[in-house]
Structure 1
Amino acid sequence: MPLTPEQAAEIDALRATPQPTLRAVAPGAEAHLYTAHPVLDHGFIRMVDYMGDDSAICQAARVSYGKGTKSVSNDEGLIRYLMRHWHSTPFEMCEIKLHVKLPVFVARQWIRHRTANVNEYSARYSILDREFYIPQPDALAAQSTTNNQGRGAVLTGREAERVLEILKSDSDRAYDHYEEMLSEDGQQGLARELARMNLPANIYTQWYWKVDLHNLFHFLRLRADAHAQMEIRVYAEAICKVVADWVPFAYGAFEDYRMGGATLSAKALDCLRRMLAGEAVTQETSGMSKGEWREFEGVIGS
């Protein structure tokens, strides 16, 4: 389970003691504060704190004293303009701090986004819980035959059972040896910072992750994409739901221009203009490589 009864009670207590404030408050974010949203089998994300809202983006863009403008439509239009023209600085005025519980191998992908502040649970000082990510059967897939980073067909039958048994037994065996090396039964034992090296990459860790909205959008654009690894994508998708409630205008513009939009090269634009003029353009006459042409066809739906 993602949360223990004690942790759930602590969150309930925090939510039951609201504090008055003069700072900008986003009702959508307030609804998510402290609440843990389950991800995978033992993981979660929860918003611990935030700064700013949609109006803070407009305020920074205009360098104004109060909120954005008196017209909500003007604020939304400005945010869409900023997103459309890649004016990123106003989005950096909003920040979010998340508490995330995730498998170590997902954390190692996540940490590649080096534009956040991170503080991770330390296995040098504390003993990790016996919690491992074990995929659901429909997430067990063979290696893709066309993509070195992707998955192929889902494993079925005896092969799926064999792999699941290996994952479970290896995880338990590694943790048993971890506890034996720590030796809390009177023996001298191994230091925690050394004993942890034997733990598998599917064990869960936790961290606090604080990031500004501009860099969060970059993270979500890559990790909430359909091509991202499923185990990190589900975390990104959970964060998307929180951000959509926190800054609805900014998230709407992000979803439209970044997630749902496409960037075309000069060659691709030239081909598109030629096609609109009635010319039958092929890969050979496009000036693009086969890979570029295949991606271009995917964008225009050819």
Structure 2
Amino acid sequence: MPLSPDQIAEIEAARSTPRPTLRAVSEGMEAHLYRAHEVLDHGFIRVIDYMGDDAAIVQAARVSYGAGTKHVSNDEGLIRYLMRHWHSTPFEMCEIKLHVKLPVFVARQWIRHRTANVNEYSARYSILDREFYIPAPEQLAAQSTVNNQGRGAVLEGAEAARVLEMLKRDAGQAFDSYEQMLSQDGQQGLARELARMNLPMNTYTQWYWKTDLHNLFHFLRLRADAHAQYEIRVYAEAIAACVKDWVPLAYAAFEDYRMGGVTLSAKAIAVLKRRLAGEVVTQEDSGMSKGEWREFEGVWG
């Protein structure tokens, strides 16, 4: 269970005592505040706080660019213009703070996005809970034969059972040793900061993660993509659902230009122009590498 009964009661108590405010409020995001959105088997994301809304993006852009944006007739058009032309600073006016519970190996992948403020649960001071991520059977897959960092066919039958048993057994044994090493019941034991090194990567950790909307969109573009690892992608998808309610105009532009759009190189543009002119273009005379050509064909045929 991601949240204990006491934590759920604390959340409900906070939501039952709203306070008036003069700051910008997003009704869509208010519905998400504090509530835990479950992810994986023991994880969750919770919106703890946020600043700004679609109007804050527009306000910042008009201050920044002044008369240069007056030809844009409405907020949606301006936001789409900003997204289309890669203007980033107006989107930095919106911020969000999340409470995330996630497996350690997902956290290590997540922390590569170095554009946020992070404070993680400290296993130097506190004893971790006995909670591990154990993949659902449909997520147990072999190594891909075409992608060095991806998954291939789903394991089945005896092989799936063998792997699942090892995951459960090893996690449990490691945590048993962790508990036995700690200073307790009168024995001297080992310091928590050292005992934690024996824990497996599928142990759950927690952190507060605060970032602005511009950098959050970059995170979502990479981690909510179909090619991202499943275990981080489901977190990104849960966050994206909150962002869509928070800044619907900005999120719609993001979906259109980033998630659903394609960036073309100068060589790719040249090939498209030649094709439109009726010329048959091959990889050999395109000026592209085999990898570039494969990606080009994946979008344009």
TM-score bucket of the superposed structures, by smaller chain: over 0.9
Contact 2:45–2:238 (CA under 8 A) maintained in structure 1:
yes
Trace 1:101-116 onto structure 2 (pairs within 5 A).
101-116=101-116
Which residue identity lines up with residue 60 of structure 2 in the other structure? A
Kindly state the Cα deviation for residue 189 of structure 1 after the two structures are TM-superposed: 1.1
1:229 is aligned to 2:229: yes
Kindly state the Cα deviation for residue 73 of structure 1 after the two structures are TM-superposed: 6.7
Trace 1:216-255 onto structure 2 (pairs within 5 A).
216-255=216-255
Structure 2 match to 1:38:
38
The range that moved more, 282-291 or 31-40, is: 282-291
Structure 2 match to 1:55:
55
Structure 2 match to 1:282:
282
Which residue identity lines up with residue 134 of structure 1 in the other structure? I
1:156-204 per-position Cα deviation (integer Å, ceiling 9, x unaligned) = 0000000000000100100001000004111011100000000000000
Trace 1:9-28 onto structure 2 (pairs within 5 A).
9-28=9-28
- SS at the partner of 1:280? coil
Cα separation, 2, equivalents of 1:73 and 1:158: 63
Structure 2 match to 1:187:
187
1:74 is aligned to 2:74: yes
Structure 2 match to 1:146:
146
Cα separation, 2, equivalents of 1:155 and 1:181: 35
Kindly state the Cα deviation for residue 270 of structure 1 after the two structures are TM-superposed: 0.6
1:210-230 per-position Cα deviation (integer Å, ceiling 9, x unaligned) = 000000000000000111000
Structure 1 match to 2:259:
259
- SS at the partner of 1:63? helix
- SS at the partner of 2:10? helix
Which residue identity lines up with residue 163 of structure 2 in the other structure? V
Structure 2 match to 1:92:
92
Percent identity, please. 82
1:291 is aligned to 2:295: no
Which residue identity lines up with residue 76 of structure 1 in the other structure? E
Cα separation, 1, equivalents of 2:227 and 2:37: 23
Trace 1:198-209 onto structure 2 (pairs within 5 A).
198-209=198-209
1:212 is aligned to 2:219: no
Kindly state the Cα deviation for residue 280 of structure 1 after the two structures are TM-superposed: 1.0
Q: Which runs of 5+ in 2 are unaligned?
A: none
Cα separation, 1, equivalents of 2:149 and 2:121: 28
Structure 1 match to 2:272:
272
- SS at the partner of 1:118? strand
Which residue identity lines up with residue 134 of structure 2 in the other structure? I
1:171 is aligned to 2:171: yes
Structure 1 match to 2:123:
123
Cα separation, 2, equivalents of 1:260 and 1:34: 30
1:75-110 per-position Cα deviation (integer Å, ceiling 9, x unaligned) = 000000000000000000000000000000000000
Cα separation, 1, equivalents of 2:263 and 2:44: 33
Which residue identity lines up with residue 166 of structure 2 in the other structure? I
Q: TM-score, normalised by structure 2?
A: 0.96
Structure 1 match to 2:162:
162
**4+ residue runs over 3 A deviation:** none
Which residue identity lines up with residue 164 of structure 2 in the other structure? L
Which residue identity lines up with residue 243 of structure 2 in the other structure? V
